[in-house]
Amino acid sequence: MIYLNCAATSFRRPDSVGRAVLAAMGSCGSYGRGSGGGDLDAARMVFSAREKLADFLGFSHPERVCFTSGATQSLNTAIMGMPRVHGRVIATDWDHNATLRPLARLADEQGARVDFVPAGPDGALDLDVLETLLGEPADFIVCTHASNVTGMVADVAHVVSLGHAHGVPVVLDAAQTAGSMPLSMEGLGVDVLCVTGHKALMGPTGTGAILVSPHIEPAPLIEGGSGVRSAERRQPSVWPEHLEAGTLNMHGIAGLAAALDWLDDVGVAEIHAYESALLDRFLAGVSRIEGAEPYGTFDGAHCGIVSLNLRGWESSALADELAARYGIATRAGLHCAPRMHAALGTLERGCVRFSFNRFTGTDDIDAALAALSELAGA
């Protein structure tokens, strides 16, 4: 199989990730719930993983790195838990359903008002509108770092600058960028960072984290056992237990820690350069295929994602044909980002997404281009 669905999940991972998961299953006891050797091993491993993730993402408070099941839980935690005074949130047309649906819940159940920074037909966000929206008080901005449809990367530093100038904190969804390009939470000035472990971070599924700046105190999404202050009636306010009710996915966290070591060894800048070269190769080939229509712009920062349609083909039929005839895995449809598809004009037809990572080869790119060329003439 030629796997070009890396924006959904990493299919091939460093061998060290699987070894770390298996080792943890044979050695780790219960994190925070015992004093035996295996329990202490679990505590040390989780503590080390927090430090690694904080360092990797440019955050100087590892105690406020809270592990989750992925970016969806992280975003739900942020959106439902951020302090609310004004009853208003600003989001963007790029946002994934992991953001849109909790925002809809906030609106339906608590009467919150949600305003959106629009994207144009070329996929670009109109940040002039954000400045206008900030003319009214808002509780927070939630922004996607890179669109999972087009791969375009937002000018987060500008978003943060505008938000902070009006006293509005910024929650960043970095599901597509963490691990695929250099990212510093404190360098960008982001207040809350949400990441998943199973995409470009190369970790196991069921892993992720929310990183929360010290000046933000979100309410916990889930309450329960924490291993500390068990006599307290509500979830304790100490970190990281404040946002970590229940037993952690220690085996997955061990795999994520191993993935972070691999990423550090390879270098995220090198990974981004490699994916950018694949992107350029794919775009150059697509430009020569009659009837191929890629979406978005490619003259700025970009992840290894290209979504397109091919004249004469429904997007789902094209993806099925690529898989059945050529063994090429892609993804068709709306990619859980309906507002972005509405902006691009593809809400009804969807599109086929090709996405790459460090394990994608140039031969994989060439095989996909050859298949598209053949299907364009079919």
What string of DSSP letters covers 166-201? TT--EEEE-TTTBTTB---HHHHT-SEEEEESSSTT
What pLDDT score does 114 carry? 98
Residue 104 is which amino acid?
A
205 in the same domain as 84: yes
User: Rounded to the nearest 5 degrees, what angle is found at the Cα of 334, between the Cα atoms of 327 and 313?
Assistant: 55
What pLDDT score does 227 carry? 80
Which residue has better confidence, 42 or 132?
Answer: 132
Query: At what angle are helices 268-286 and 250-266 packed, to 10 degrees?
Result: 80
355 in the same domain as 247: no
Single out the residue in 231, 266, 301 at which a domain terminates: 266
280 in the same domain as 346: yes
316 in the same domain as 187: no
| Chain mean position to CA 180 | 10
354 Cβ contact list (under 8 Å, min separation 6): 4, 282, 305, 306, 307, 308, 330, 368
75 in the same domain as 210: yes
pLDDT, tens digit, 9 for 90 and up, residues 242-298: 999 999 999 999 999 999 999 999 999 999 999 999 999 999 999 999 999 999 999
Q: Which of 371, 376, 351 is nearest to 151 (CA)?
A: 351
Residue 126 has pLDDT above 80, yes or no: yes
Cβ 13 vs Cβ 3: under 8 Å: no
User: How far is residue 373's CA from residue 376's CA, in Å, rounded to a whole number?
Assistant: 5
Side-chain half-sphere CA neighbours of 48 within 13 A: 16
Binned at pLDDT 50, 70 and 90, residue 231 comes out as confident
Cβ 45 vs Cβ 271: under 8 Å: no
Which structure tokens are listed for 251?
Answer: 């085996």
308 in the same domain as 326: yes
User: How far is residue 367's CA from residue 370's CA, in Å, rounded to a whole number?
Assistant: 5
What pLDDT score does 31 carry? 75
Which residue has better confidence, 189 or 233?
Answer: 189
225 in the same domain as 164: yes
Averaged pLDDT of the chain? 96
Cβ 40 vs Cβ 160: under 8 Å: no
130 Cβ contact list (under 8 Å, min separation 6): 90, 117, 141, 159, 162
Instruction: Flag the least confident range among 52-66, 99-113, 223-237.
Output: 223-237
336 in the same domain as 192: no
Element spanning 353, H or E: strand 351-355
Range of the domain at 335: 2-10+267-376
- Give, as one character, the DSSP assignment of residue 335: T
Give the total residue count for the chain: 378
- Please state the domain count of the chain: 2
Single out the residue in 238, 266, 294 at which a domain terminates: 266
Mean pLDDT of 55-65: 98
User: How far is residue 87's CA from residue 253's CA, in Å, rounded to a whole number?
Assistant: 35
pLDDT, tens digit, 9 for 90 and up, residues 63-92: 999 999 999 999 999 999 999 999 999 999
Binned at pLDDT 50, 70 and 90, residue 32 comes out as low
252 in the same domain as 304: no
Binned at pLDDT 50, 70 and 90, residue 5 comes out as very high
Single out the residue in 266, 285, 304 at which a domain terminates: 266
Which residue has better confidence, 375 or 36?
Answer: 375
25 in the same domain as 170: yes
CATH number at residue 161: 3.40.640.10
What pLDDT score does 378 carry? 58
Which residue has better confidence, 239 or 36?
Answer: 239
211 in the same domain as 138: yes
What pLDDT score does 62 carry? 98
Residue 35 has pLDDT above 80, yes or no: no
What pLDDT score does 112 carry? 97
Which structure tokens are listed for 179?
Answer: 């691990």
DSSP strand pairing (351-355 vs 305-310): antiparallel
- Counting residues of the chain whose pLDDT is more than 70, the rounded percentage is 98
Q: Within the chain, what is the greatest distance between any pair of CA atoms?
A: 70
User: How far is residue 254's CA from residue 19's CA, in Å, rounded to a whole number?
Assistant: 9
227 in the same domain as 83: yes
pLDDT, tens digit, 9 for 90 and up, residues 306-329: 999 999 999 999 999 999 999 999
3-state SS, residue 144: strand
CATH number at residue 345: 3.90.1150.10
- Give, as one character, the DSSP assignment of residue 64: G
Residue 34 has pLDDT above 70, yes or no: no
What pLDDT score does 107 carry? 97
Q: Percentage helix, strand, coil, to 5, in the chain? A: 40, 15, 40
What pLDDT score does 40 carry? 83
Which residue has better confidence, 97 or 377?
Answer: 97
Residue 199 has pLDDT above 90, yes or no: yes
